[in-house]
Amino acid sequence: MPPREGTYGLLAEFDTPGDLVRAARQARQDGWRRLDCYTPYPVEEAAEAIGFHRDKVPLLCLIGGLLGGAAMFALETWISVLAYPINVAGRPTYSWPAFIVPAYEWTILWAGLSAAFGMLALNGLPALYHPLFNAPNFRDGATTDKFFLCLEALDPKFDLAESKAYLENFRPVSVVEVEY
Amino acid sequence: MAHESHAQTHAKTLPADLGAPALVDGWRNRALVVGVIFTVIAVILAFLGQSQDPEHLGWDHFLRGWTMGLMLTFGFSVGGLALLMVQYCSGGKYGLLLRRPLEAMSRTLPLVFGYWVVTAIFMKRLYLWAQFKGDADTAAAVKAGILTEIQKHCIDFKRPMLNPFAFVWVSVLCFAIWGFYTWRLNALALKRDAQGPETTPFWIKKFENISGLGIVIYAVTMTAASIYWVMSMDPTWFSTVYGLLYLVEQGFQVLALGIIVTLALSKAEPIRTLLRQTEQHDLGKLTFAFVMLNIYLAFGQFLIIWSGNLPNEINWYLDRIRGSWGVIITLDFIFHWLIPFSVLLSRDIKRNKKRLTFVCQIMIFAVAFNQFWLIEPSFHDAARNLHFSWGILEYVAVPIAMMAFWIAYFCTRLKTRPLVQVNDPHLAEILEPEHAHA
């Protein structure tokens, strides 16, 4: 694939999450679909405002947890019943209460790992490059105290001059054009 | 700052009338009707059970059901006080919504004390150790076949602690301590509201200081009460985690009731304005933590005793597993952990008022069900032998009646104060729109 060129989108900067959410909600309502919010901490309302849809992380987490628990329980059962049966104080070799704790630990471990790595994978991370980092105010503010709304050039409604004026309506701190 | 001006322009306004809405009167009236009906049913069942061959245990079952009702209402009352203190120490916006319901729960203590007095009066029918005055009595009982050697040994050995005098005075002391904290926190809360915002930092510190020590004292007194009132029904057994189990159970039931009450109150002002989904979600998450903590301790106790398999410990579990009791503990596991855990995992359900209320109702039922499993097998006639008698239905009738009267009392307590504390920085925060929770 040849490297992309031209405009990635228009980036509006806001000082408060409230302003961002209102701008994002309005943009979505006005028919924008290729748009994204960038905030220094999770702002759930921003996700809702741009038509956030359900993702598969909870499902991955659940499957990971169940598989982890089942795997450890099966391992313990196999060791105690088949591979190395041993008489512990006359208890049956299949002594499930003793298996619960490691199985539980593995449930948590695998649920956690599946959620974390599943989230990264579904986000397309790790990524080596993202055009937004071309904007200096984004580099400085996106992880500290600024809230950004980006209208992407891929959206059919996108027009450099008109969209810029549209974003100015929301009275952002600034609107900048971002190159690929 | 832009953020502040924004928050002010979009914040909701606090309703003028912060008092409890009229629907609380409706709850109270309904609770009173239920209470009266189930009192009648309980008395009828006691007579039926008393006339039933061969056990004639109607009134004994009535008292056992009474103990269950005592533990439930005690859990709401003193557990409410405990969660109030925890909340004063930990802070959190969710807590502001619960504070007045929790205060109202704590102020039901006189009724719980009344319930306890009945238990104390009929001590001899509930506690084996209360029937024997000294070593000579127990020796005679062994000869007569009333006690086993092991029971005799345990009762004699534990007599310095398990005797009617200690039972009454330890319990009264505990009630006095809980009463003191209830009075202090409730009185100061009104004083706090009467003063201006410049006093807020002082009050936050003040409540923290009272509650911090209060939580520690609560843990100790709670342990004593649960040992005397329930664990000692079987004088041969002991578990060091028992008090903690009851403590977590109280958090479990108080949060469940707190959520039910808050969501029900949100049908009318002022809570309709004050309850945001964020706080409802937080309450759901906290409840989920208690569901987990409860199974952790309950299973931990079982695993340790199962591993040790010692004759002085394992019998307590065998009494509660064999003879069809296994069915009860399996159901208990399902109601107490499996259902709340699986359901509360879901974010959507925690944010849905109807469904969250339903889960909380199941949780409160589970707490009662668990009490049945703890109490009934402590008695010789029921240990390793789950069987039907009219009397066993007292475990439904008596606690429902007691709970109903407790709820009626709780509603009157709830009516006496505004539903939200105004001298608190969290109030401005929960009036902000949800996306401004920075």
Convert the pLDDT of each residue in B240-293 to its tens digit. 999 999 999 999 999 999 999 999 999 988 888 888 888 999 999 999 999 999
Residue A156, preceding peptide bond in cis (omega within 30° of 0)? no
**Which of A17, A89, A97 is closest, CB to CB, to B438?**
A17
Interface membership of A97 toward B (CB under 8 Å) = yes
Q: How does residue B6 score in pLDDT terms, banded at 50, 70 and 90? A: very low
Q: Is A36 exposed, middle or buried (0-12, 13-18, 19+ CB in 10 A)?
A: middle
Q: Which residues of B291-301 are buried (b: 16+ CB within 10 A; e: fewer)?
A: bebbbebbbeb
The overall average pLDDT reported for chain B is 92
B164-199: pLDDT as tens digits: 999 999 999 999 999 999 999 999 999 999 998 889
Quick check: B89 and B419 in contact, CB under 8 A? no
Which of B10, B302, B309 is closest, CB to CB, to A18? B10
| Interchain contact, B3 vs A97, CB within 8 Å | no
Selected residues 10-69 of chain A with any CB under 8 Å from a CB in chain B? 15-19, 21, 41, 43-46, 58, 62
At which residue do the structure tokens 């038509």 appear? A51
* pLDDT above 90 for B368: yes
| Strand duo A147-152 + A35-38: pairing | antiparallel
Q: Do B435 and A41 touch (CB under 8 A)?
A: no
Shortest CB distance from A21 goes to which of B299, B347, B435? B435
Nearest CA in chain B to A40: B438
Q: Which residues is B24 bridged to in the sheet? A: none
Stretch 347-366 of chain B: residues touching chain A, C-beta under 8 Å: 347
Of A2-6, A16-20, B176-180, B429-433, the range with the lowest mean pLDDT is A2-6
- Predicted pLDDT at B220: 96
User: Exposure of A130 by Cβ count < 10 A (0-12 exposed, 13-18 middle, 19+ buried)?
Assistant: exposed
B302, B351, B435, B437: best to mutate for the A interface, most A CBs within 10 A? B435
The alpha carbon of residue B292 is apart from the nearest alpha carbon of chain A, in Å, by 12
Please name the member of B2, B303, B347 whose beta carbon is closest to the beta carbon of A97: B303
pLDDT tens-place string over residues A42-82: 888 888 888 877 788 999 999 999 999 999 999 999 999 99
Question: What's the whole-number mean pLDDT along residues B71-76?
Answer: 97
Q: Is B299 on the interface with A (CB under 8 A)?
A: yes
Question: Which chain A residue lies closest to B296 (C-alpha atoms)?
Answer: A101
**pLDDT value at position B2?**
40
Contact yes or no for A97 and B10 at CB 8 A: no
Q: Do A17 and B347 touch (CB under 8 A)?
A: no
How many residues are present in chain A?
A: 180
Q: Which residues contact B144 (CB under 8 A, 6 or more apart)?
A: none
Contacts of B435 in chain A (CB under 8 A): 17-18, 21, 43-46
User: Exposed, middle or buried, B91 (CB in 10 Å: 0-12/13-18/19+)?
Assistant: middle
Percent of chain A with pLDDT over 90: 62
Per the CB < 8 Å rule, is B435 touching A15?
no
Any A CB within 8 A of B304 CB: no
Measure the CA–CA gap between B98 and B430, rounded to whole angstroms. Answer: 13
A·B CB contacts under 8 A: 39
Contact across the interface for A19 and B436, Cβ inside 8 Å:
no
- Give me the percent of chain B exceeding a pLDDT of 90: 82
B435/A98 touch (CB, cutoff 8 Å), yes or no: no
**pLDDT the model gives residue B260:** 97
Residue of chain A whose alpha carbon sits nearest to that of B433: A18
A101 and B303 in contact by Cβ < 8 A? yes
pTM: 0.88
- CA-to-CA dists, residue B327 to A105, A127, B322, B333, angstroms: 27, 54, 9, 10
* Cβ <8 Å between A18 and B3: yes
SS3 assignment, position A152: strand
- Cβ distance A46 to B435 less than 8 Å, yes or no, reads yes
The pLDDT score that the predictor gives to residue A89 is 87
Question: Is the pLDDT reported for residue A150 higher than 60?
Answer: yes
Q: Which chain B residues touch A44 with a CB distance below 8 Å?
A: 434-435
- Nearest-Cα distance to chain A for B435, in Å, is 6
Whether ipTM tops 0.90, in short, is no
What pLDDT, on the 0 to 100 scale, is given for residue B226? 96
Minimal CA separation from B438 to chain A, in Å = 8
pLDDT at B5: 42
Q: Does A108 touch chain B (CB under 8 A)?
A: no
Whether residue B437 has pLDDT greater than 60: no
Q: Which residues are registered as beta bridge partners of B129?
A: none
- Does any CB of chain A come closer than 8 Å to the CB of residue B13? no
- The DSSP annotation for B231-261 comes to GGGSTT---TTHHHHHHHHHHHHHHHHHHHH
> Which residues of chain B have a CB within 8 Å of the CB of A46?
435
Rounded-to-integer distance, Cα B413 and Cα B394, Å: 28
